Amino acid sequence: TWRTPGVTDRRAGAEAQVFVRGVGTDACGVTVDPSVAIHLDGVYQARPQMGLQQFLDVERVEILRGPQGTLYGRNATAGVINIVSRQPTDEFEGYVSAAYGSFDRFDTQGAVSGPITDALSARVAVRYLNDDGFTDDLDPAGGDEIDDNDMIATRGILAFEPNDRVRAALTIDFTDFESGNRTIRPLDDLGIADALGAMPLPSFDETRNPEPTFLDWETWGATLDISWDLNDYVSLTSISGYRRFDMDFLFNTDGTEIPVTRTNFAWTTEQFSQELRLQSENLDRWRWLLGGYFLTEDKVGTLALQRFTNNVMAVSPFTIFLPNDDEGRAWAVFGELGFDVTEWFSVTVGARYSKERKEDVTSFANLPGVVTITSPLAPPLFVLRDDEETWDSVDPRVVLEFKPQDNVLLYASVSKGFKSGGWNAFAPGEAFDPEEIWAYEGGIKSDWYDDRLRLNLAGFYYDYSDLQVNTFINSVAVTTNAAEATVWGIEFEAVAAPIENLELAVNYAYLDAEYDSFISPFGGLGPQDLEGNRLRNAPKHKVNASAEYAVPVSNYGELVAFTQVTYQSDVFFSQFNEDVIGQDGYALLDARLAFRSSDGRWEVAIFGKNLTDKEYLQNAVRFTSTSNQTMGFDEDAIGNALGYPAPGREIGGQIRFNF
């Protein structure tokens, strides 16, 4: 769970889904873009999976809430997650850590960093993660493991600083991941498997998976970051990035031991981006920045929806193939100008012009039998769509800052965000429209009592138009544009050090996120008026409270105890606000106890996550492909409700050496 107020993360099979202040994307496929922009070392990641999985040798993670389109690139209507890797150092250093715990989880990583010459330095980091999964598979016909991890990741950074005006860093990373895929559980009795006599559900941490399911992916990339101080007043930054991501998975779609249907999906994406920024340095009262951005992305994805023979549906085995071949090109120019009107009042204005061109070719084939994407059979394809669209937008931003004293900052901002349109990956039809947001925010950031108390408060109001929302129509996922939505909320953060060696922190977010006007079809029930319904993944309340206390142990070191409680109120995972496609409010308890040596060279710790072993869902969906619309079941064709379980209690130990 993210500790940042207003941020929630979800999993749906292989898809990473992040929502900020109730805004995000749960659509899958290569034809749809995320609403939260992920940046890894300054490079925008067009697919969230490229940057959200590894977390190798990370220096910090910055989370910027609200539209950030002026400076942070495309598709940042909800916000930005900026992941910054540790950089090479001027002196030799390194570390190695290892952890072992529940689910036979072994997680180890390490890094070595230091100078090669006076002008050249390097850093190399490696991580290996392996576990048996947090769910037991009771069906011997399936794979040996499910909800497991087997990952190796590595990153190398070479930094070159010939003088005090130029710095260049080349980063190359690679990650390989294998898994038995994810568990899904039926939440109602509308499934075909239920009509065929599926066994009662096992325990929450158990499943019956009869398929040899898998989830394999690998990603690699290279980044060249060059900074050049042209003179004492102007600097130039160039960031060039290439990334590739390949994924293949087989998924037991109905979540039971009855062979009903399974999903095979494979996709590949390549992207190249270039950003140039020219900005001021060392000016008295003025600050300015000018930039340009270009991205090209080529994507190929194929869905194979496989249906087995069954007596209820009275059909023979068949497989539906839906390949997508997509290209995207994005250009942008942006600028920002800041002026200190007085010592305590400043104004910043900026704008970004974005233009996007996308092409999509979607085909279709209906084949006899249950075959996979890797089958040697080359199906005859019928082209469902061959389309090209272009969108553009001008997105301004204005920020006012008032600093009555050094430790207090009052601010107010208005900004506009833009997310490009796209197509439904698995259905014919025209492109859906871009979504736009006007965001208004104000707040205070302050430090008190010699920085022993930090208090931050923010209030925001969002006006959304053409919000992109995912739904199921005729057995396939379809993205449509909601007419309007309003989001407003309050976020509070407090960090206090009331006594020596004790730190207390509380983060709270209140979120009111509703559709103002949205008509959406719901199976055979027809169009539904969803005015007043809450947005998906938008809990009204989210609280995180933590405490850390360090106790000196003679001259040997210190004992550090940390605990946190995270509470989230109920959420809905679809716009229809059904209880079954949602999750009641819950709280999670985590703790860690560590001993650190006095010289900082080593640390030993024990930790626990979800210590109360709370059973909750990471996500839930409706699949009409697994529902039974005969014999009085699912006559309205709304689909079978299924949920993705979250991990249970995890306890482990960790050791780390620094050198």
Q: Which of 43-47, 80-84, 268-272, 622-626 has the highest mean pLDDT?
A: 268-272
Q: What is the H or E stretch that residue 456 is in? A: strand 453-473
Give Dmax (Cα) for the chain.
Answer: 79
At 61, give phi and psi (nearest 5°).
-125, 120
Helix, strand, coil content of the chain in percent (nearest 5): 5, 65, 35
**pLDDT computed for residue 631 by the predictor:** 66
Is 595 within 8 Å of 558 (Cβ atoms)?
A: yes
Q: Which two tokens stand for residue 620?
A: 């839930």
Contact at 8 Å (CB) between 396 and 417? no
Sign for the pseudo-dihedral over CA of 248, 254, 258, 260: negative
pLDDT above 90 for 361: yes
Nearest in space to 252 (alpha carbons), one of 309, 305, 177, 179: 305
Round to whole Å and give the CA distance between 94 and 305: 48
Is residue 262 exposed (0-12), middle (13-18) or buried (19+ Cβ within 10 Å)? Answer: buried
Cα separation values, 190 from 95, 207, 445, 574, Å: 53, 18, 51, 18
What pLDDT does residue 587 have? 96
Q: Tell me whether strands 541-553 and 557-568 are parallel, antiparallel or unpaired.
A: antiparallel
Note the helical H segments in 100-202. 192-195
- Is residue 238 scored above 90 in pLDDT? yes
User: Could you tell me the pLDDT band of residue 29, with boundaries at 50, 70 and 90?
Assistant: confident
First to last CA, the chain: 31
Tokens of 629: 């619309």
Q: Look at the chain and count its residues.
A: 659
CA distance 608 to 591: 5
**From residue 321, how far is each of 133, 224, 365, 372 by CA, in Å?**
30, 39, 5, 9
Which stretch, 46-60, 75-89, 446-460, has highest mean pLDDT? 446-460
Token pair for 440: 């208004």
Q: How confident is the model at residue 185 (pLDDT cuts 50, 70, 90)?
A: very high
Is the separation of the CB atoms in 251 and 263 below 8 Å? Answer: yes
Q: Write out the two tokens for 407.
A: 């430790």
Q: Pick from 24-33, 68-77, 343-352, 519-528 the range whose average pLDDT is largest.
A: 343-352
The residue whose two tokens read 């039998």 is: 369
Q: Give the whole-angstrom CA distance, residue 111 versus residue 191.
A: 49
What is the Cα–Cα distance from 432 to 466, expressed in whole angstroms? Answer: 9
Res. 472 pLDDT band, cuts 50 70 90: low
| Whole-number Å distance between alpha carbons of 54 and 60 | 13
CA 345/CA 342 separation, integer angstroms:
5
β pairing state of 15-20 and 7-12: antiparallel
Low-confidence winner among 138-147, 241-250, 379-388, 452-461 (lowest mean pLDDT): 138-147
433 Rama class: left (phi>0) / alpha (psi -120 to 50) / beta: beta
- Cα 94 to Cα 77: distance, rounded to the nearest angstrom: 38
The token duo for 382 is: 């019928």
10 Å CB burial of residue 112 (0-12, 13-18, 19+) is middle
What's the token pair of residue 372?
């996979």
Cα distance between residue 406 and residue 419, in whole Å: 37
Query: What secondary structure does DSSP assign to 525-572, as a single string?
Result: G-EEE-TTPBPTT--SEEEEEEEEEEEEETTTEEEEEEEEEEEE--EE
Q: Please name which of 33, 47, 45 lies closest in space to residue 75, comparing C-alpha atoms.
A: 33
Contact 514, 532 (CB under 8 A): yes
**What is the model's pTM?**
0.90
Q: Is the model's pLDDT at 475 over the cut of 60?
A: no
Residue 522 CB contacts under 8 Å (≥ 6 apart), including other chains: 471, 528, 576, 638
Three-state secondary structure readout of 293-360: EEEEEEEEEEEEEEECCECCCCECCEEEEEEEEEEEEEEEEEEEEEEECCCCEEEEEEEEEEEEEEEE
Residue 479, strand partner residues: 470
- In the block, residue with structure tokens 């079941």: 633
CA distance 48 to 30: 11
**What is the per-residue pLDDT for 1?**
45
Q: Is pLDDT of 634 > 90?
A: no
Q: List residues bridging with 583 in a β-sheet.
A: 571
- Helix or strand run (H / E) with residue 11: strand 7-12
Mean model confidence pLDDT for the chain = 90
Chain centre distance of CA 197 = 37
Backbone angles phi, psi at 626, to 5 degrees: -105, 0
In angstroms, rounded to a whole number, what is the distance separating the alpha carbons of residues 55 and 564? 21
Which pLDDT band holds residue 14 (cuts at 50, 70, 90)? low
What's the one-letter identity of residue 138? Answer: L
**The dihedral formed by the CA atoms of 147, 207, 306 and 143, expressed in degrees to the nearest 10:** 60
Residue 119 has pLDDT above 90, yes or no: yes
pLDDT tens digits for 326-356?
999 999 999 999 999 999 999 999 999 999 9
pLDDT in the model for residue 523: 80
Sequence-distant (≥ 6) Cβ neighbours of residue 546 within 8 angstroms = 3, 504, 505, 506, 562, 563, 564, 565
H helix or E strand, kind and range, residue 387: strand 382-405
pLDDT of amino acid 318: 84
d(CA 493, CA 466): 32
- Assess whether pLDDT exceeds 60 at residue 474: no
Phi then psi dihedrals of residue 157, to 5 deg = -125, 130
**Across 61-69, average pLDDT:** 85
Q: What does the block give as tokens for 41?
A: 């070392």
Contact between 158 and 122 (Cβ < 8 Å): yes
Question: Which whole number is the average pLDDT over 652-658?
Answer: 97
